Structure 1
Amino acid sequence: MLNLQATIPNQFIWPDDEKPCTEAPELDVPLIDLQNFLSASSSPSATLEASRLISEACSKHGFFLVVNHGISEELISDAHECMARFYDMPPSEKQKVQRKPGESCGYASSFTGRFSTKLPWKETLSFRFCDDKNSPNTVQDYFCDALGHEFLPLGKVYQEYCEEMSSLSLKIMELLGLSLGVSRDYFREFFEENDSIMRLNYYPPCQKPNLTLGTGPHCDPTSLTILHQDHVNGLQVFVDNQWRSISPNPKAFVVNIGDTFMALSNNIYKSCLHRAVVNSQSERKSLAFFLCPKKYRVVKPPRELLDSNTPRRYPDFTWSMLLEFTQKHYRADMNTLQAFSDWLTKKPIK
């Protein structure tokens, strides 16, 4: 409805120093071919090269692309089609799963319930995925319980998609462990039985795209993000004091480090500032899987990353504490982890 208006409401207009640049130069993002690594007969040289590329990317800006990842094109296509079906529904239907204040899951339109300024030009649907044998159909049950049994087909698609994303995430965690010089299984085991978040992002066309943002500048508070973009440009990353774009690649996933993994790596790997811009011609959609540990698992770096010359950078915390901080106390930005650490040191950890 907003797109039919001649002007943008003031709540959506961003300050001059944060307004988007539509012509951002392309970011040189490492393209990591996982085919050999994922095969039963993977060679040590292929594994070493993949971990080297990941180390290089994560030390600079935390973004890389993965191809030959083993996720079927049909499943990815189905996930995009189901997203289109959801966002084509009338507002009254989408609002049946309206996100409640302080919660991280549900439908949100520009986060109008949380914020009154610098609103993002987007709609989102977020839902929880649990890699838990005792709760095998978390996503499927959410769609049926929240929207009705007729949404079972969507629930099945996203249940399978999240299971594949979880599996891929754990494989990437093996490479991250190797690249940091800890055991291959360390981070994989840390994230087994993960309690993660899946998000469907929809960015409508905007008549004044130079005034607003689809998603404001932020670092992901989660551990690892696996993003699949549709064919429309929009993702930008802040590197070397300049915004740079990552163009869509239908055969690749964009992967980036989040704040929680930055803490796990004791600040060796970086959680990088990024945003989404919009345009006046085309809608844009993306699928984002946010890997998170079990909510009460303590986040702290492995001993191998600490010595007398390398002190701890962040206090112990659990994912549930950081999630609560970002939902109730702080709007995620480039300083979330430091702000959270400061908050923790003034508040007793229970």
Structure 2
Amino acid sequence: MEKLISIRSNIQTVPESYVLPPDRRPGKQDVPLCKTIPVIDLKGEHAHDKAELIQKIIKASQEFGFFQVINHGVPEELMRNALMVGAEFFDMPAEEKASFYSEDPKKSCRLYTSIDYVREKVHFWRDTFRHPCHPLEDHVKDWPEKPARYREVVGSYAVEVRKLGMWLLDLICEGIGLKPGYLGSGLSQVQLMALNHYPPCPDPSLTLGLPKHSDVNLITLLNQGEVNGLQVLKDERWLAVEPVTNVFVVNIGHMLQIISNGKLRSADHRVVTNTSVARTTVASFIFPSSDSLVEPARPLTNKGSPPRYKAFICKDFVSTYIADTHEGKPPLERYELDP
């Protein structure tokens, strides 16, 4: 528990173990706000412009690997409450959270810090509480009883976010030439919720909340609140994603890039810190089940468009992703097929 950055008080300087090598530091330069990541209004899904809506999602997923959605159906109050209860969890005394702390990545309901604290040479300025949440009735009993409203708020939030995620996956399927529901069942069986907490940092130029990476899963839906931190890499340039109330930031994961046979792309992103205020976010990840076979969708491959990636079992890919990311290797490289 003493490793958690959120329980340390009055840190005046960045500890040496959190100082990144000069070539990996964010530095002091101003990162411009990205004005071009699309903000897509989902209210048109049931109207005559559904085709235009799908086109916008696919274009954003190809150009950026990221987009933002409004009028998505998740109540604004529920989004706000999920952020608040997350902040309340991290603000609890250490002894109230101790039973959830674990350095075992196989523990399903787990509080931990940084990314791979034991093996990594430099740590990252973040604590995370992560747990499965679908089907809700299978997992909610393992969640914290404190804060008192945690199970109620996060449970309701998880259900609503899953509806949104599955809706988006169906729209994406239509956009790339698959039938709606293709990504249902085992290919989207797992949903993980991650509450991320980034305390104020004495010198944000020296460290990161999260390093450059792309997500391993199908799709991620992020409720990032009102504090800056998320940055996306576009054309070798970092761009800040401005927080907007009642908006989800959606990004494509590696597995969806593979299933789409490269029609969509995952995108590199990172999280920076700040000196003045803590930042709490809630991310929802949709994955295939661990034993699912993941491969380029067969309706998207033919002689003229052969598979670009090898087939694999989901849990095996997650294992190599963790190892490759730790070693700084591109996680998709070992699965790419020669053209």
Please say whether Structure 1 and Structure 2 have the same fold, judged by a TM-score greater than 0.5: yes
Residues 17-51 of structure 1, C-alpha deviation per residue, up to 9 Å, x if partnerless?
Answer: 221155212221111111131xxxx13x4211111
Note if contact 1:209-1:278 (Cα within 8 Å) is conserved in structure 2.
Answer: yes
For residues 225-272 of structure 1, the C-alpha deviation after alignment (integer angstroms, 9 at most, x for no partner) is: 000111110100010110001100112100000011111111221111
Cα distance between partner residues in 2 of 1:262 and 1:96:
37
Q: Any conservation in 2 of the 1:140–1:152 contact (CA below 8 Å)?
A: no
What are the within-5 Å matches in structure 2 for residues 59-138 of structure 1?
Answer: 59-103=62-106, 105=108, 106-111=110-115, 113-131=117-135, 136-138=136-138
> Secondary structure in 1 aligned to 2:310?
coil
- Aligned partner letter, 1:200: L
RMSD of the alignment, in Å? 2.3
Report if aligned partners of 2:233, 2:267 keep a CA contact under 8 Å in 1: yes
Residue 18 to residue 113, structure 1, CA distance change in 2 (3 Å): closer
Residue 141 in structure 1 maps to residue 145 in structure 2: no
Equivalent pair of 2:187/2:289 in contact (CA under 8 Å): yes
SS of match in other structure, 2:149: helix
- State the shift of 1:308 in Å: 1.4
CA contact (8 A) 2:88 2:147 kept: no
**Aligned twin of 1:25:** 32
Report the secondary structure of 1:247's partner residue: coil
1:106-162 C-alpha deviation (Å, 9 max, x unpaired): 10122464333231101100001223xxxx42342121xxx4x45563112212211
Of 166, 172, 182, 1:170 maps to 166
Whether contact under 8 Å (2:187, 2:292) holds in the other structure is no
Q: Give the Cα separation in 1 of the matches to 2:327 and 2:60.
A: 23
1:37-56, aligned counterparts within 5 Å? Answer: 37=45, 42-43=46-47, 45-56=48-59
Paired position in structure 2 for 1:324: 319
Distance 1:112 1:222, change over 3 A: closer
C-alpha distance in 1 between matches for 2:107 and 2:235: 31
**Cα distance in 2 for residues equivalent to 1:150 and 1:92:** 12
Say if 2:294 is the partner of 1:299: yes
Q: What are the Cα deviations for residues 34-87 of structure 1, in whole angstroms up to 9, with x where unaligned?
A: 1131xxxx13x4211111111111111210011000001121122112111110
Q: Distance in 2 between matches of 1:186 and 1:150?
A: 38
Distance in 2 (CA, whole Å) between partners of 1:114 and 1:128 is 23
Once the 2 structures are TM-superposed, how far is the Cα of residue 90 of structure 1 from its aligned partner? 1.9
Q: How does 1:244-259 map to 2 (within 5 A)?
A: 244-259=239-254
* Count of aligned pairs: 328
Q: Partners in 2 of 1:91 and 1:161 — Cα distance?
A: 25
SS at match of 2:102: coil
Q: TM-score, normalised by structure 2?
A: 0.89
Cα displacement (A) at 1:280: 0.6
| Corresponding residue for residue 9 of structure 1 | 15
Q: 1:150 to 1:209 in 2, by over 3 A?
A: closer
Measured at CA, do residues 157 and 138 of structure 1 come closer, stay the same or move farther in structure 2, by a change above 3 Å? farther
- Aligned partners of 2:323, 2:233: CA distance in 1, in Å? 26
Task: State, as a whole percentage, how many aligned pairs show the same letter.
Answer: 28
Counterpart of 1:181 in structure 2 is: 177
TM-score (norm 1): 0.87
Q: Which residues in structure 2 correspond to 1:270-285 (within 5 Å)?
A: 270-285=265-280
Give the 3-state SS of the residue equivalent to 2:132 in structure 1: strand
C-alpha separation in 2, matches of 1:56 and 1:186 = 20
Residue 166 of structure 2 aligns to a residue whose secondary structure is helix
Secondary structure of the structure 1 residue equivalent to 2:195: strand
Q: Which structure 2 segments of 5+ residues have no match?
A: 1-6
Q: Look up the equivalent residue of 1:116 and give its one-letter code.
A: E
Match of 1:313 in 2: 308
What residue in structure 2 maps to residue 200 of structure 1? Answer: 195
Is 224-233 or 5-14 further displaced after alignment? 5-14
Distance, in Å, in 2 between the alignment partners of 1:86 and 1:51 is 37
Q: Give the residue type in structure 1 aligned to 2:152.
A: K
SS of residue paired to 1:199: strand
Matched to 1:128, the amino acid is P
Q: Name the SS for the 1:221 alignment partner.
A: coil
In the TM superposition, residue 332 of structure 1 has moved relative to its aligned partner by 8.4
Read off the aligned partner of 2:76 and give its amino acid letter. Answer: E
Match for 2:125: what amino acid? Answer: W
